[in-house]
Amino acid sequence: MKYTMAEYTYANNVPSWFLLSVMALFPGWCNAGEINLYSVNTGSYVYHLTGNHGQYTENFENNFFSGERKFSADSKYSLLIGTMKNSFDDRCLAIGVRRVWKDFDNGWVFNGIYGYTGEFFFHAFRDCGDHGSYHDFKKATGIGFSPYIFHGFQYNFTSYFGLETGIIIPSVFVVTAHWSFR
């Protein structure tokens, strides 16, 4: 199903200014050699492996979306900026660094993502620190957030599309679609 930006932002409670900011990472005036530095991550499936008795946001309900840019064509690092609903159904800013630890040259890649998921000064992200570990960090630091440490394997079906699966430490199973502009 194809959405207009207004339909997507309304259906997924994503602020339109945020989508415009992420889309700014993908300017149409990039030269052909530069476009392969960009990718988009969508459609995350999330499952809490322990302690979930129906109280957490999971399956495809987290509405994850991020834009990503490699630091250079041969870099093992890239920057991700996105948004998602945390386990407590609160909209959060997600920003992090992806590290390619091992590219097996057969479609398989072992990745790590190290990031911040939490509050930001815009209205849409104000409730992110209201529950769970986000709230614990808010009491201690004044900012509601949770550090995300993810390790997983990605299988690239084509040079443009791959699926990534792994664990957000300590016990959240994740599957995400990874769309590249190669």
Q: What is the pLDDT of residues 64-104, one digit of tens each?
A: 899 999 998 889 999 999 888 877 777 888 899 999 999 99
CATH number of this structure's domain 5-23+38-50+75-180, picked from the four choices 2.40.128, 2.40.160, 2.40.10, 3.30.70: 2.40.160
Burial class (CB in 10 A: 0-12, 13-18, 19+), 26: middle
- Give residue-wise pLDDT tens across range 107-150: 999 999 999 877 677 666 676 666 666 667 677 777 777 788 99
Asked which of 19-33, 91-105, 145-159 is least confident by mean pLDDT, the reply is 19-33
C-alpha to C-alpha distance for 28 and 73, rounded to whole angstroms: 18
Q: How many CA atoms lie within 13 A of 108 on its CB side?
A: 7
- Cα distances (Å, whole numbers) of residue 123 to 13, 18, 120, 163: 12, 11, 8, 32
Q: How far is residue 66's CA from residue 128's CA, in Å, rounded to a whole number?
A: 17
What tokens appear for 112 in the block? 């790590």
